[in-house]
Structure 1
C-alpha cells in the first residue's frame, strides 16, 4: 500500500525560481513518469488554475498528485484568511485525488530568506504556539470532515517546528484525529537530530513521508559559515536517496515494519544545472526500489 512519488522541486524551485527557470512543466512531469514514479507533489509551474487540464496532463502520464505545500501563517495573518486559502487548496487537492494536505507555519520564519543564517531562527512564543496548534486543529477538522483528507504538518529547517522536541510539542498539543506529521528524514538530520529515532517516535502520527539524502560536507559548512537554508540548498546539502551520507536503510525498515499506508516521496531540492533532474530522479527511484525495497 506504499506508493512512490517525487516533488518537482528538483526541476524548478518555488523559493528560488531562477533554479530551473528554463524547465517546462511538461518536461518535469514527463521525466517524473519516465523515471518510474506513480505520483507527484505540486510546483509553481503546474497549471493549477485549470484543474481539468492539469489532471489530463497527469493522467496520460500515469501520475497522481499526492500532496501540496500550504503556507500556514497563523502568527501573522487573520485566521479567516488562512482558513479561506486552506479550503481552496483542500478542494483542489481533493479533486486531484490527494489524501493529505501538507505545509508548515511560515509566519515569522527564515527558511525562505536567502541571506538569513539558519542560526538566526527566531524562538516561537507561547502565543505563536497557541495560534499554531489551535489553527491546525480547526483546519485539520475541516480537511477531515469536508474533504476526507489529513492535515500533514511538515517540520522544516528555519521554521518554528524544526527539532524533535518541537515536533513532539506540536503533536502533543494537537488532536491526533485532525493533525498528523509529514515526516522528513533530511530536515531532522540537518537539524542535528537522529532521523531514525524520530521516525520510530512519530511513526504512529505520520501520514506522509519525504525521503531525501544529505551531504555532510555541505551540512557542516552551513553551520560553520552561517549559511541560510536556501544557500545550503543551492550548494547541494540535499540529494536523492542513496547519493549522500544518510543511512536510510533503518528508516526504510521501520516504514516496512509499520502499518503505514501512503506515499513515500523523494523531495530533494538541488540546482538542476548541476544535478540533472531526470538523472537524479531515476537514481533515487532505483535506490528506493532496489536497495530499500519499496
Structure 2
C-alpha cells in the first residue's frame, strides 16, 4: 500500500516572475482554487493519507493554506457567514497527516526528494510535483498505484514513472525514456536521459511529475554527482536501473497541464473554465465580442 506522498514545492518559480517574488506559484489560482489544492485532491482521492511537503523560505503560505485558522473560523461563525465557513473547513480538513520538511538550499529535484527520507521511512512512496496538473476520470496517481499493485504480484522493489508523448520541439525540455513495451500503456525502462536534443532522444516519451518509488531510490540519490549545480532525480533513476532494479514508465490516461510557466498556466485556466458551464458561456461570449475567431 502506498500511504505517503512527497510534494516538492521548494522551487523559486522563476518562470512565473515577478508575482512569485511574494506568492508561491503553487498558490496561484486556477479559477477558484490554488494549483496546490488540485494536486492535494488528486493525492487524497488516490487513497494516500500522509502528505510530505518539501518547502523553502517564503513557501510557508502553502502549509498555512491547509492549516487550521481558528480566528478566521470564529470570525465567519460570528458574522453568520456559514457558507464561507464550510468552504474554509473543507480545505483545512483535507489532509489527515501533514509533514513539513525544509530544503534550505535549492539543489535540484533529486535533493528535494532525498530530504523526505526520514519522513518516508522504509516504504514505497509517491512523488507528485506541484506544478503538473492532470485532469483524468481516474486520478493519475490512482492509475499508477493500481499498476504498481499489479506488478507487486510479480516483482519486488520496482518503481513507476508517469510519461506522456511530447512533440519533437518539446523533447529537450524533459527527461526522456527508452524502453521495451510490456503492454499498450506500460514500458520497462532501459535508459533515462535528462533533456536530450531531439536527435539524441531515443523516443518522445517524456517524464511528467508523477512517480512511485521503492525506498531504495534514497540510496542512489546519495551516490549521484551534481549536474549543472543540481542533483538530478533522473540520474538516480538511471543508476537504479543499472543496478538491476525494475523501473516502469506508465502512459497515463488524462490531460496534463504545466502550470509552472505563463503559457501553460493560461491554458490550464482556459481548460477548467470550459469545464464550468457558467464560465464556458462567459468565455464564448468574450471571444465572440472581441471577434477573436
Same fold (TM over 0.5): no
User: 1 or 2, which has the higher helix percentage?
Assistant: 1
TM-score by length of 1: 0.27
**Which of these two proteins has the greater Rg computed from alpha carbons?**
2
